[in-house]
Amino acid sequence: MAKILVVDDEQKIREVIREYSEFNGFEVTEADNGMTAVGLCKLHDFDLIIMDIMMPKLDGFSACKEIKKLKDIPIIMLSARSEEYDKLFGFELGIDDYVVKPFSPKELMARINAVLSRHQGSSQIQPQVLEFEGLSINIAARTVSVDGEKVELTPKEYDLLFYLVENRNIALSRDKLLSDIWGYDFYGDDRTIDTHIKNLRNNLGQYRDYIVTLRGVGYKFEA
């Protein structure tokens, strides 16, 4: 039984999510602010978090940052705001999905199942360290080292690099990268990919040339 933490300062929202989640066989814990959510994550393990953005004491974005420092728990953000900036910022923090209020509880359940399925699938990957000269990539442990020095990447930079490596020597269009890494309903554009590639190359240092630009198409990891 998957354990879900629902974080929202609106009691009625929490009650609706609890009702539908328990009907779908999930175990639910509630919190009415980000500070409480962080505290609960220190004490307990959860399979997924549903978190509102605008909350007292500690907002959802700040709580997400703190939780990601503690544990790798998939997060679905809730917000009454549909601005692209909020979505971009959330995905930069490593959230897995973004749902705008008011939402359909049935759609939310579908998104929960999709996120849990993706996360459980990735957690079953066997430990594998890939070496490309001095570039070492451990996909299961989510670590990257350059000449023996560990490199710190953002969550989406890790996802992008691992996806490129797993599909190495294959041409990948920007649209496919956006769809497979950011999600089918992400409203970004080509600049999102280009910016992340630029930052990723900077972090890889002398091994930046493994990521090859394919003009008019996209990118590939060539090794």
Taking only the tens place, the pLDDT of each residue in 18-39 is: 999 998 889 999 999 999 999 9
pLDDT value for 185: 53
The mean per-residue pLDDT over the stretch 158-166 comes to 90
Rounded Cα distance, 115 and 158, in Å:
17
pLDDT at 125: 46
Of the pLDDT bands very low, low, confident and very high (cuts 50, 70, 90), residue 126 is very low
The domains of the chain, with CATH numbers, are 3-123 (3.40.50.2300), 129-221 (1.10.10.10)
pLDDT value, residue 42: 92
Contact 31, 7 (CB under 8 A): yes
Place of tokens 């609960």: 40
- pLDDT given for residue 137 in this prediction: 92
pLDDT (0 to 100) of residue 156: 87
Backbone angles phi, psi at 199, to 5 degrees: -65, -40
Nearest to 168 by CA among 135, 202, 120: 135
3-class SS string, 69-89? HHCCCCEEEEECCCCHHHHHH
Q: Can you give the pLDDT at residue 175?
A: 85
> Measured on CA atoms in the order 48, 154, 200, 195, is the torsion positive or negative?
positive
pLDDT > 70: percent of the chain:
92
Query: In the prediction, which pLDDT does 206 show?
Result: 93
Mean local confidence (pLDDT), 203-214: 94
* Residue 117 host element (H or E): helix 105-123
Question: Max Cα separation, the chain?
Answer: 55
3-state secondary structure of 71: coil
pLDDT over 60 at 122, yes or no:
no
Q: What is the mean pLDDT of residues 199-222?
A: 93
- Whether residue 88 has pLDDT greater than 90: no
Indicate if the pLDDT at residue 220 is higher than 70: yes
Q: What's the pLDDT tens digit per position in 35-66?
A: 999 999 999 999 999 999 999 889 999 999 99
- Cross-strand partners of 150: 145
- pLDDT value of residue 4: 96
Residue 218, classified by CB atoms within 10 Å of its CB into exposed (0-12), middle (13-18) or buried (19+), is buried
Length of the chain counted residue by residue: 223
